[in-house]
Amino acid sequence: MKILLVEDDPKLAGLALKGLRARGFVVDHAANGDDGFALATTRSYDALVLDIMLPGRDGLSILRQLRAKSIATPVVLLTARSALDERLDGLNLGADDYLTKPFYVEELIARLHAVIRRASGVGLSLLHNGEVTVNLLTREVRVKGAAVELTAREFALLSFLLRSPGRAFTRAQICEHVWHYHFDPGTNLVDVYVQHVRKKLGDAGPALIETVRGVGYRARPETAAGAAP
């Protein structure tokens, strides 16, 4: 799972990063609100860990702007033990949970698992676009009801694009999310995998994954795709 941690306290951030990565999370870190907001709006994460008191944009402002942009990524707020009003404000703005400082990393991990589990519940575990259905829990892909076998990387690529239909992603963004390393402009790795996925999806493939000139790729917008409800 990929997490964004926005925390300006270097000691607390260091402990959280070490603990999360030791448990297998892929974690990006921002030490101020402006950098955190930029990452949250340009990259895809399974959850955000967001401190309320930050230099630059404060945590509540970031949360408000994310929800205004219809970015529904689960958010765990980090708050001072005495900041009841801020916790209530955060929950009212769309935060999924909060954790008071100081905290144990094990508790943060448990809360992250809980909010991610809720976000991938029955209503959000199936991605539909045209004739293609992706089950995020069973990792099954079907075209017109027929099962399609994808490799782990191919599945990660397809589900990444389908989570944000209509949004164009650069090759660098796709590479970072699917392969977890920075994109080398000298490689055509992303293009090769897109072609593999398109081919395996048959006639639905080229229409589903669109090439965006000068940018990269996107999943066809749901309104144009006739997505299943």
- The per-residue pLDDT for 26 is 87
- Categorize the per-residue pLDDT at 12 as very low, low, confident or very high, splitting at 50, 70 and 90: very high
What's the CATH code of the domain at 33? 3.40.50.2300
Q: Are 107 and 216 in the same domain?
A: no
What's the pLDDT tens digit per position in 184-211? 767 889 999 999 999 999 998 898 999 9
| Cα–Cα distance, 190 to 179 (Å, whole number) | 10
What's the CATH code of the domain at 154? 1.10.10.10
Q: Are 114 and 6 in the same domain?
A: yes
pTM of the model: 0.55
What's the pLDDT tens digit per position in 24-77? 788 999 999 999 999 999 988 989 999 999 999 999 999 999 988 888 889 999
110, with CB counted inside 10 A (0-12, 13-18, 19+), is exposed
- The per-residue pLDDT for 83 is 64
Q: Are 169 and 87 in the same domain?
A: no
Per-chain mean pLDDT for the chain: 85
Among the ranges 24-38, 92-106, 215-229, which has the highest mean pLDDT value? 24-38
DSSP string, 110-151: HHHHHHHHHHTSTTTSEEEETTEEEETTTTEEEETTEEE---
- The per-residue pLDDT for 123 is 46
Q: Are 56 and 83 in the same domain?
A: yes
Q: Are 69 and 172 in the same domain?
A: no
Q: Are 77 and 158 in the same domain?
A: no
Give me the domain span that covers residue 17: 2-119
**Domain end call among 63, 93, 119:** 119
| Cα–Cα distance, 206 to 186 (Å, whole number) | 24
Number of separate domains in the chain: 2
What's the pLDDT tens digit per position in 146-190? 999 999 889 989 988 988 888 888 998 888 878 876 767 678 899
